[in-house]
Structure 1
Amino acid sequence: MAMPSPTLFQAYVRQALSWLEAYTGDMPLHRYLKNAFRQQPKLGARDRRYISALIYDYFRMGHTLRNRSRLDKMLIGYFLCEQGPMPLIRAWQPEWLSTLPEGALPPPFQRTAWFPDFRIEELFRWSEHVTKGLSLQAFAERFLSQPHVFIRIRPGHASRVQALREGVAMLDAHTWALPAGVELEEQVSGEEGKDYVVQDYASQGVMRWLVEQLPSASVKHWTVWDCCAGSGGKSIFLADNLLLSRLMVTDIRPTILANLRRRFRQAGISAYVAAAVDVTREQELARIMGKQTYDLIVADVPCSGSGTWARTPEQLHFFAVERLNDFQALQKRLVTQAIRYLKPGGYLAYITCSVFRAENEEVADAVSREGLQCIGQRLITGYTVGGDSMYIALFRAG
């Protein structure tokens, strides 16, 4: 395929700037761009890739380069974050390429040295609010790269899953990292859902840690309620690693439960009950739950999502720290209602994909004040392998 002309690169930049100016953050960036591209049907796949990269890389700069123009910040972001040949930069800022050594591009963070006003500490500006154990430097550096896609090989299916191309990294026997932006079936063999599931490194990590903490996990038959189940990844993990006598899955979003049901069919899970319910509404929840109580309640609660912002870097630009108060209040209400259905001696797993202390340790302290014993807590930092970061605290009812 022929390389775009300098004139076309200029058109990409102009279009990206126009959409940046119009974007207000009131919807996810990927959805905004999908709608914008739908209104420009003449833009082909290559055009969309360039324009999307320019916009995403602008937001990956967070709050650094604050005195630069939007154009400068966007081009610097593209130069720092993209890999491989850079004809677009050659068309706009060829002098930047002259500073690079011969051969492969240095990692993104090394390239920041060419811009004295780039401050890694300004990229993520809420350092005083983060959970203990987070490396701010390593966490912030992850925003300069698109995270990987991770799969978990299901028990008994390892022989059916093989790497089909370079770039697939086997982190252990069950966890593989795949480059983003490439179809799964082009990278690995086997059947998605049946032989492997898409599940982020940190999500696998918190669930593996949880199962390790549970007593007699390999022999006891567990009753489990996944109260904010989403698309079901954590429930599938539990079904693969525990003996379940009852599985209840709920979420406030009926549409995502439809996705859960599809994934459960693929995984061969049929013995479960699913319901759309707002867990914070006591009477509504009571109608759904009845008098059933559970050995294990998994509460992967709504949160800021800050541990996943490398996937949604627009949050670096638009997030207001004052929102943490609202998230924390919601998390406390949700947990207060959920633990009413916990058996004596049962376990609550409180999980977030946040790196903020207000959503993690502070809520865990509040749960302890409800009378539950904290067995342990863990921050799973996926930034070392190109993944997300998540927090888990495990409690036992008296």
Structure 2
Amino acid sequence: MKFFAHLNTAVQVLDQYKGQQPFGLFIKEFFRKDKKFGSRDRRSISHLCYCYFRAGKGLEQLPVPERIVAGLFLCSQAPNEVLAQLKPAWNEQAALPFADKWTMVAGEESLAAVFPWADELSTGMDALAFCTSFFVQPHLFLRCRPGKRAVVQQKLTAANITYAMASEDAIALPNASKVDEVIVLNQDAVVQDLSSQRVGKFLQLVKERITNTAALPVWDCCAASGGKSILAFDVFGKIDLTVSDIRDSIIANLKKRFAEAGITRYRSFVADLSNPQANLALAIPPVLILADVPCSGSGTWSRTPEQLFYFDQAAILRYQTLQKKIVARVGTQLPAGGLLLYITCSVFRDENEAVVQYMQEHEGLEALHIELLKGYSNQADTMFAALMRKS
């Protein structure tokens, strides 16, 4: 009865975990200390824990073991050996429509209980569809580098890796696909969520507005792993790139990725952009600022459901305050007519439309194009982007 043992271990793990770090890191440390579990055992226990988190704020009336099994049932799209052992009656119903399964598990409790902040959502969000998406593992997405699509497809096919084209250059794969063993990451293709790839549409709008043939001065001010910089490099071709972030370690990792992507000419610096006195080591004024700002990450919670489970609504205002400080500081570097592309992976209005309104009312920026990049129907993240122009 090994799956009952897995269930008991999952209960033990969840009792110890308090949301203090990403669950993926916590569970790795748990297994490092207790080496009796094989790889299949680790995957099974981890999956049970994630099923528990995916119910978010719903099903709170259930004891932990029952909530885990309920989560497993809701996340299962077909009968499986784990559910067959833990709850045989539910296993026979695993292929039912999700709404029917929710009623079986939750009774009269609304699915809205999973994400009880529907009133805080950005315009255009389907709250119930968003709640349903938490019970499905998102895809792994690749963006093919220019001219590399056929090469990537050939390599995936040769390795018998199942994939589907999500757009002209976007490839969707099962989340656990070992693509790094098949393609040259960052050279053939980059790992980038579908909605993040759709930010390229905003860059195309910028490209249409730029008549100067010189290299476009771009500042990626919250560069993180550099995905948006690589996208800008691929869209514009010629680019005078500056990147910054708040920690040296982030910039160090970014430099490694840039080397793999063939980006060799750029400037970088470290700065806390929430500080109005932060030193900005910009050689020339940027014509375009990419501001993929820190946020709640609520549009990515299908990938990290523990954040849904432990989320405190007060964090929205804290992030909004930080976002306003960042756009106020970087906006001072834009010349008249310069562009700022504001990006979040949040679904909350106060991190999205409200900050755009703030920029228009207080920072001399006008909105040219705003879009909620909904990914919850495509097993992708949901993001928000707004292209702003300095008056």
Superposition pairs of residues 330-345 of structure 1, within 5 angstroms: 330-345=322-337
Alpha-carbon distance, 1:214 to partner: 4.2
Q: TM-score, normalised by structure 1?
A: 0.92
Alpha-carbon distance, 1:355 to partner: 0.4
Deviations 1:62-99 (A, max 9, x none): 12212211111110101111355422222222122244
Superposition pairs of residues 191-270 of structure 1, within 5 angstroms: 191-217=184-210, 220=213, 221-270=215-264
* Corresponding residue number in structure 2 for 1:376: 369
**Alignment check: 8 A CA contact 1:142 1:386 kept:** yes
* Corresponding residue number in structure 2 for 1:127: 118
CA distance in 2, matches of 1:375, 1:214: 14
* Corresponding residue number in structure 2 for 1:3: none
User: In the alignment, is residue 275 of structure 1 matched against residue 269 of structure 2?
Assistant: yes
Deviations 1:273-330 (A, max 9, x none): 11221112233324x236x311000100000000000011011211111111111111
* Corresponding residue number in structure 2 for 1:329: 321
* Corresponding residue number in structure 2 for 1:347: 339
Correspondence for 1:160 among 147, 151, 171: 151
Alpha-carbon distance, 1:216 to partner: 4.1
**Alignment check: 8 A CA contact 1:349 1:393 kept:** yes
**Alignment check: 8 A CA contact 2:276 2:325 kept:** no
* Corresponding residue number in structure 2 for 1:289: 282
* Corresponding residue number in structure 2 for 1:18: 12
Number of equivalent positions: 384
Alpha-carbon distance, 1:34 to partner: 1.2
CA distance in 2, matches of 1:55, 1:304: 22
CA distance in 2, matches of 1:229, 1:42: 40
Alpha-carbon distance, 1:139 to partner: 1.2
Correspondence for 1:311 among 303, 323, 327: 303
Q: Evaluate the alpha carbon distance shift between residue 193 and residue 160 of structure 1 in structure 2; reply closer, same or farther with a 3 A threshold.
A: same
CA distance in 2, matches of 1:99, 1:223: 57
* Corresponding residue number in structure 2 for 1:78: 72
SS at match of 1:383: coil
Q: Evaluate the alpha carbon distance shift between residue 142 and residue 217 of structure 1 in structure 2; reply closer, same or farther with a 3 A threshold.
A: farther
Correspondence for 1:390 among 379, 383, 391: 383
RMSD of aligned residue pairs (Cα, Å): 1.8
> Structure 1, unaligned stretches of length 5 or more?
1-5
Deviations 1:14-73 (A, max 9, x none): 110011111111111111111111111121110111110110000101122122111111
* Corresponding residue number in structure 1 for 2:27: 33
Q: TM-score, normalised by structure 2?
A: 0.93
**Alignment check: 8 A CA contact 1:62 1:316 kept:** yes
> Structure 2, unaligned stretches of length 5 or more?
none
* Corresponding residue number in structure 2 for 1:183: 178
Alpha-carbon distance, 1:156 to partner: 1.4
Alpha-carbon distance, 1:190 to partner: 3.5
